[in-house]
């Protein structure tokens, strides 16, 4: 794809030393401080509590806080629960480990694919880029299902490409296609139906575009349908047999979230993912436009199929996620691998073909100066708003400037591989500084470990406690036992199913909450309730209207958000 470099242009294999280099970077970066230095986030708390209840016997129908949880398929819960059994404990490290392992798998797979499509050096740099991109580093440290699903989606695409390549060479691709169907099904179990449009749409378009649909018999489609039916149906059928409204729950979570129905929509614009994909792919994504341009560059006609395969994987997923009414940055993780690969391809094209070393060196030197000026201006902003973080900022600024300067020098004096290795190493070190600083950014008030400890000190582990509104996953995880939610999951489902529209459902749920809370307050005995400081005055008003009194026990300002704290109150003084 490019001019000969220090690694043979005709070599399309990755060697043991290449895998070792990429794996060392992955283990060092993705495995760094997975444990309790940073407390669990909201989504991680949901995974942790559900995995704990999975270990308590709920392997088929996931449960969270004693309630049925079908918002997600069980793949991540199973992975965490199985690792918890292996390690003999369930903590932050175990909850995040599946994501870290999956991130390593993604890096190895796209490195292998890049080498197969183009050449060895492209594969090595792609592996290093995957190990050091912002999105991969951050999401490898989040114990949620998205990275696990991304691994299976990536494995599916790689197997499909290798299988089609075998067919084109008049060889059997059966093994690769079988693996593709298995990983596709496991991706569905990891995070619901998301892999279906993300995989099937681009693959179908590619088959039509390339004309390989004529070989559909060699793809073993019927066998694939059977494999998927067995793997996915092995979980879906038992759930349908045990949960009467399972189909409605899935519809509300997936279809309604996509269309903006009953499920909460994020109300973000259609172009929301344009900056997000660049942020997730930094620093390599600065070359993404160049990589996409290669698809339409006649100079690379002999690599048209490879580039189109990557382009369709990326663009079809991008369009699908952009059409959704529910948008969050981590949703587009399945299209980050092709974005990274295209970015690396674009970078190699620009630096080894389009630009001379002298020109590229001048541009790099200019970027170092611009970075220095930008970081100097940023110093005053950080010092004004987060003075406690200024030492981290200064360290990051020095690393960025030195890393970029050394990289430019190595590119000019040695080669591109040494230059990109320095960039990857710099990114990993920067993340190693940022990650432990997260608790300082969020503040001690947001630490669910501290909140759980304060509540335990006030009321003890065995007190009768209820959440008014949505239960907080991390708080429940660190508290160590379920805290029932009012209204519970089944009450929410029943109310929505009986209501004509979302507004009616909201009103009916509010009345149901008031009645249930007042009923518990009136009962003999002491019980406690957790709510927000925004809702607490309403609870006082509800109680006063019924001739009852409630008593504040504990208040943690800014626990739920900057403008929303936690209040623990009781029906007894």
Alpha helices, DSSP H, located in 31-74: 42-55
Q: Could you tell me how far CA 30 lies from the centroid of its own chain?
A: 13
Structure tokens at 252: 């509300």
Distance CA 56, CA 63 (A): 10
Q: Which residues of 127-144 are buried (b: 16+ CB within 10 A; e: fewer)?
A: bbbbbbbbbbbbbbbbbb
Q: For the chain, 573 residues long, give each residue's pLDDT as a single digit of tens.
A: 334 444 455 677 889 999 999 999 999 999 999 998 999 999 999 999 999 999 999 999 999 998 999 888 999 999 999 999 999 999 999 999 999 999 999 999 999 999 999 999 999 999 999 999 999 999 999 999 999 999 999 999 999 999 999 988 888 889 999 999 999 999 999 998 999 999 999 999 999 998 888 877 888 899 999 999 999 999 999 999 998 888 888 887 788 777 766 545 567 888 999 999 999 999 999 999 999 999 998 888 889 999 999 999 999 999 999 998 888 999 999 999 999 999 999 999 998 888 777 787 788 888 888 888 888 888 888 888 778 788 888 888 899 999 989 998 898 888 899 999 999 999 999 999 999 988 877 888 899 999 999 999 999 989 999 999 889 999 999 999 999 999 887 777 777 766 666 667 777 778 888 888 999 998 899 999 999 999 999 999 988 888 889 999 999 999 998 889 999 999 988
Q: Check if the beta carbon of residue 153 is closer than 8 Å to that of residue 195.
A: yes
Q: How many CA atoms lie within 13 A of 344 on its CB side?
A: 36
Structure tokens at 169: 């060479």
pLDDT at position 265 is 53
Helix, strand, or coil (residue 317): helix
Secondary structure letter of residue 555 according to DSSP: E
Distance CA 361, CA 359 (A): 5
Structure tokens at 190: 């990891």
Q: Give CA separation, 99 vs 143, 148, 397, in Å.
A: 6, 6, 29
pLDDT at position 5 is 47
pLDDT at position 9 is 54
Q: Give CA separation, 565 vs 295, 442, 459, 510, 570, in Å.
A: 51, 13, 19, 20, 17
């Amino acid at each position: 794809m490019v001019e000969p470099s220090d690694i043979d242009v005709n070599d399309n294999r990755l060697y043991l030393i290449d895998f070792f280099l990429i794996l060392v970077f992955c283990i060092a970066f993705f495995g760094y401080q997975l444990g309790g230095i940073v407390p669990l986030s909201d989504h991680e708390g949901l995974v942790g509590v559900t995995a704990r209840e999975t270990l308590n016997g709920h392997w088929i129908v996931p449960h969270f806080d004693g309630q049925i949880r079908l918002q997600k398929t069980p793949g991540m819960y199973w992975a965490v629960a199985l690792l918890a059994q292996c390690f003999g404990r369930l903590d932050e490290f175990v909850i995040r480990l599946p994501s870290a392992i999956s991130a390593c798998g993604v890096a190895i797979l796209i490195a292998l694919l890049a080498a197969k499509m183009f050449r060895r050096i492209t594969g090595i740099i792609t592996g290093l880029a995957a190990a050091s991109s912002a999105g991969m580093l951050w999401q490898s440290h989040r114990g949620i299902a998205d990275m696990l699903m991304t691994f299976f989606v990536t494995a599916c695409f790689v197997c499909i490409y290798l299988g089609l390549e075998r067919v084109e060479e008049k060889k059997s691709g059966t093994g690769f296609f079988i693996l593709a169907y298995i990983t596709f099904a496991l991706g569905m179990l990891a995070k619901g139906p998301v892999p279906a449009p993300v995989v099937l749409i681009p693959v179908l378009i590619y088959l039509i575009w390339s004309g390989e649909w004529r070989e559909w018999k060699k793809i073993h489609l019927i066998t694939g349908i059977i494999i998927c039916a067995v793997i996915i149906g092995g979980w879906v059928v038992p759930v349908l047999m045990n949960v009467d409204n399972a189909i409605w729950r899935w519809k509300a979570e997936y279809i309604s979230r996509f269309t903006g129905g009953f499920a909460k929509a994020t109300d973000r614009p259609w172009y929301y993912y344009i900056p997000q994909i660049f942020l997730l792919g930094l620093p390599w994504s600065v070359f993404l436009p160049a990589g996409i341009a290669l698809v339409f560059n006649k100079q690379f006609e002999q690599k048209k199929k490879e580039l189109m395969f990557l382009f369709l994987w990326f663009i079809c997923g991008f369009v699908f996620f952009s059409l959704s009414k529910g948008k969050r940055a981590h949703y587009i993780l399945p299209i980050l691998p092709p974005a990274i690969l295209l970015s690396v391809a674009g970078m190699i094209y620009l630096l080894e073909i389009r630009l001379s070393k002298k020109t590229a060196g001048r541009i790099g030197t200019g970027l170092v100066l611009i970075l220095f000026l930008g970081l100097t201006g940023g110093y005053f902003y950080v010092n004004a708003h987060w003075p406690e973080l200024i030492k981290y900022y200064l360290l990051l600024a020095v690393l960025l400037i030195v890393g970029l300067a050394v990289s430019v020098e190595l590119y000019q004096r040695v080669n591109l591989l040494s230059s990109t290795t320095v960039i990857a190493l710099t990114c990993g070190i920067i993340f190693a500084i940022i990650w432990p600083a997260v608790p300082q950014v969020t503040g001690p008030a947001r630490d669910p470990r501290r909140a759980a400890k304060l509540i335990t000190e006030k009321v003890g582990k065995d007190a009768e406690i209820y959440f008014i509104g949505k239960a907080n996953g991390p708080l429940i995880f660190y508290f160590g036992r379920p805290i029932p939610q009012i209204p519970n999951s089944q009450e929410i489902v029943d109310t929505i199913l009986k209501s004509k529209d979302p507004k009616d459902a909201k009103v009916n749920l509010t009345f149901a909450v008031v009645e249930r809370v007042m009923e518990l307050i009136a009962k003999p005995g002491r019980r406690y309730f957790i709510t927000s400081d925004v809702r607490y005055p309403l609870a006082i008003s509800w109680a006063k209207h019924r001739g009852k009194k409630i008593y504040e026990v504990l208040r943690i300002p800014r626990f739920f958000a900057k403008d929303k704290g936690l209040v623990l109150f009781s029906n007894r003084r």
